[in-house]
A and B are shown apart, each in its own frame.
Chain A
Amino acid sequence: MDWELTFIIFIVVVALGFDFINGFHDAANSVATIVSTRVLTPGQAVVWAAFFNFVAAFGLGIHVANTIGKGVIEASVIDEKVILSALIGAIVWDLITWRLGLPTSSSHALIGGLIGAGVASAGTDVIITNGVERIGAFIVISPFVGFIAAVFLALGVMRLYARVAPGSAQGVFRRLQLVSAAAYSLAHGTNDAQKTMGIIAVLLFSTGHLGSEFHVPFWIVISAHAAIAAGTLAGGWRIVKTMGLRITKLEPSDGFAAEASSAAAILFATQVGIPVSTTQTIAGGIIGVGSTKRLSAVRWGVALNIVFAWFLTIPASAGVAALTFVITDSF
């Protein structure tokens, strides 16, 4: 096996590792509401979320993968060093913010990493302005969409159940939360795994291992979904062990409204080919549900941290990726 192919395989493994970490990080979002409402035990919830992360590989399209592969920077400037630098930029920034406790998005970090490495490689002309503008706008739009949809759904639930006995409502939402949690895990799986698919596919395409036309082979789809599902399983078990049930108390109807509206928002973005932060979208949904009860009950510190993260993630991960590219290019 030649050196170049070995290097490409190494980068594919790093990309799948990034996907695994994504599932690991986001496992809490997928299982928190359904565990806190005691619909499932932590162990059952983790398996439920990982299963739907994986099932998302079938039938939900690859629009986001195409955007990552062809809509952020010109594919002609992409090589092994650009992709490796982009991944390192995203991973390093994720680790820094994880240490600082900032709720940043792995997706935004990956896009920032791609931009930074591409610019360091061939200048600012490589940026595909239309694609980056769409992604940048949806960084802000997607939490708002989660918020608005959750408010409408929570108000609808309140009206429909105004004269229903609490016991009956509890039984209904325990069942519906199984569906909404599955929908959220499905949405999370498809949007997030497709980012890794796009990275791997564009790497193989630009190095001549994918033929003359950009496409995403099925083995990449399956591998990316398997990696994110495995990450959710691993991350979920860690949560079970270290957090137990110290998760914010939510009513089953609140969990249903937040999960269903966030799932719809993420699936919408996926169908129009826009990579979004699944974490920030469900945060918008939870804030929306909380706002229908009492706006002062919302933890605004978390919301402000999200706003802070919007402005910081892409420039910072782009900076780390650019620096990584300069260092690797000098060897």
Chain B
Amino acid sequence: MSEFRIQVLLTIATAAMAVLILTPTFFAIKLLLDAGLEFVFGGVVSFGILLGFILRRETTR
């Protein structure tokens, strides 16, 4: 397969992946927002901190 074709396929795959990752993420945040401000605040901040701790553990091994 030519280099040009590989790059076109990778571009499409990356754009599709971005949509597949970002859409559910923001759908979940919208659901939390609809449930109430306290849910989106608590949910997003606590999940962000948890994610930070997991990354710290994984990247300092």
Secondary structure type dominating chain B contacts: helix
Given the interface pairs A156-B17, A291-B52, A295-B52, the reply to whether A175 lies near B25 with Cβ below 8 Å is: no
A294 touches B59 (CB 8 A): yes
Please state if B48 and A147 are interface contacts (CB–CB under 8 Å).
yes
**What is the size category of the interface that chain A forms with chain B?**
35 or more
Residues of A within 8 A of B7 (CB): 168, 171-172, 175
Contacting pair B11 A148 (CB below 8 A) = no
A173 surroundings in chain B (CB, below 8 A):
14
Which of A29-37, A42-50, A60-68, A137-145 interfaces with chain B?
A137-145
Q: Does A102 contact B (CB under 8 A)?
A: no
Could you say which residues of chain B place their CB within 8 Å of the CB of A294?
A: 59-60
Q: Does B35 contact A (CB under 8 A)?
A: no
User: What is the predominant secondary structure among interface residues of chain A facing chain B?
Assistant: helix
**Least CB separation from A144: chain B residue:** B48
B49 to chain A, nearest CB (A): 8
CA of A176 to CA of B18 in the docked complex: distance in angstroms? 11
Q: Is the CB of B37 within 8 A of A134?
A: yes
Enumerate chain B residues within 8 angstroms of A147, measured Cβ to Cβ: 48, 51-52
In the complex, the answer to whether A153 meets B60 with C-beta atoms within 8 Å is no
| CA of A296 to CA of B13, assembled, Å | 31
Shortest Cβ distance from A169 into B: residue: B10
Please state if B11 and A176 are interface contacts (CB–CB under 8 Å). Answer: yes
- Give which listed residue, A144, A157, A171, A264, contacts B44 with CB less than 8 A: A144
Tell me the bound Cα distance from A145 to B30 in angstroms: 12
Contact of A295 among B6, B29, B56 (CB under 8 A): B56
Chain A residues in contact with chain B, CB under 8 A?
133-134, 137, 140-141, 144-145, 147-149, 151-153, 156-157, 160-161, 164, 168-169, 171-173, 175-176, 179, 256, 260-261, 264-265, 268, 272, 291-296
